[in-house]
Structure 1
Amino acid sequence: MMVQNPGGFWRRLLGLLLDAIVVGVPLGILSYILTGESEGNTLTNLLSFLYYLILPVVWMGYTVGKRIVGVRIVKVDGGKVGIGTMLLRTFVTGLVYAVTLGIALIVSAFMVGLREDKRGIHDLIAGTYVTTDKPQ
């Protein structure tokens, strides 16, 4: 495993919050305009899922929030993430978090904060990590 320059907990959390603001709020407004529903509708959930699934694949591991804070998702061998990797990271891990009623999410947050390689459960499942390294 070649984890180099891992992105820490606070940087990753800030990237996630920025994604929620920069992407989530406009998606919510657009969805409300189109559907009239203000919370948790299918369109917002689908677009959000596609954002986290596809954008890192086409933008060298970045989402908008990750790009702003200077971190990106890569495979443990340093390679570019693909759709399969991102499906594991988003969908399968989401199922694990749901089945454990959020306990695995809390454990994962502690793992990112305390482990030397800063990898959470979602990273271990997908074979990824978050790094501060720029793309080659």
Structure 2
Amino acid sequence: MSEKRGGFWRRLAAGLVDGILIGLFCYGITVGMDQGTANATETVVNLLYATLLPLVWGGYTFGKRLLYIRIARTDFLPLSLGTMLLREVFGKMILSLITFGITVIISAFMILLREDRRAIHDLIAGTYVEKSH
């Protein structure tokens, strides 16, 4: 099962690509904004990117497409807005804030050590990351 799953390093690299793209985009649109507004804008752009792009692009973000991995549901249905909100907003952002980032560390170990390579946000949303090539 794990040979078809996106592993830690591939997922990390895809996240770095996405982070660089979002960072460059946000830098361009937040020039001249005060720091609070710029931070809020970056948070909204990041959430929209991570939540909506996989919905319209078959589970891919630009980083995931480049690294040949995609988000899929464990029940094999298409991704839904509810699934992606659970995964990105609750499973990643809110839990990370509540636990002061501890869930991010735990999720990294889960991806490294679990046979199915699923992190906390994947378990919450009923998703996994699979290799697409």
TM-score (norm 2): 0.90
State whether structure 2 residue 127 is matched by structure 1 residue 132.
no
- Structure 2 alignment gaps of length 5 or more: none
Q: Distance in 2 between matches of 1:39 and 1:3?
A: 42
* Paired residue type of 1:63: T
Residue range with higher mean Cα deviation, 73-82 or 12-21 = 73-82
RMSD across aligned positions (CA): 2.0
Query: What residue in structure 1 maps to residue 115 of structure 2?
Result: 116
Aligned residue number for residue 4 of structure 2: 5
Q: Which residue number corresponds to residue 103 of structure 1?
A: 102
Preserved contact between residue 72 and residue 132 of structure 1 (Cα < 8 Å): yes
Number of matched residues?
132
Counterpart residue number, 1:49: 47
Whether the 8 Å contact between 2:74 and 2:126 is mirrored in structure 1 is yes
1:37-76 equivalences under 5 Å are 37=35, 41-76=39-74
* TM-score for both structures, normalised by structure 1: 0.88
Q: Is the 8 A contact 1:7 1:130 kept in 2?
A: yes
Report the Cα distance in structure 2 between the residues aligned to 1:118 and 1:3, rounded to whole angstroms.
7
Q: Give the Cα–Cα distance (whole angstroms) in 1 for the partners of residues 55 and 83 of structure 2.
A: 9
Tell me the distance in 2 between the aligned counterparts of 1:4 and 1:125.
22
1:77, CA displacement in angstroms?
2.2
Deviations 1:104-127 (A, max 9, x none): 110111000111110000000000
How much identity, in percent, do the aligned residues show? Answer: 43
More helix as a share of residues: 2
Q: Secondary structure at the match of 1:111?
A: helix
Secondary structure in structure 2 of the residue aligned to 1:51: helix
> How much does 1:39 deviate?
8.5
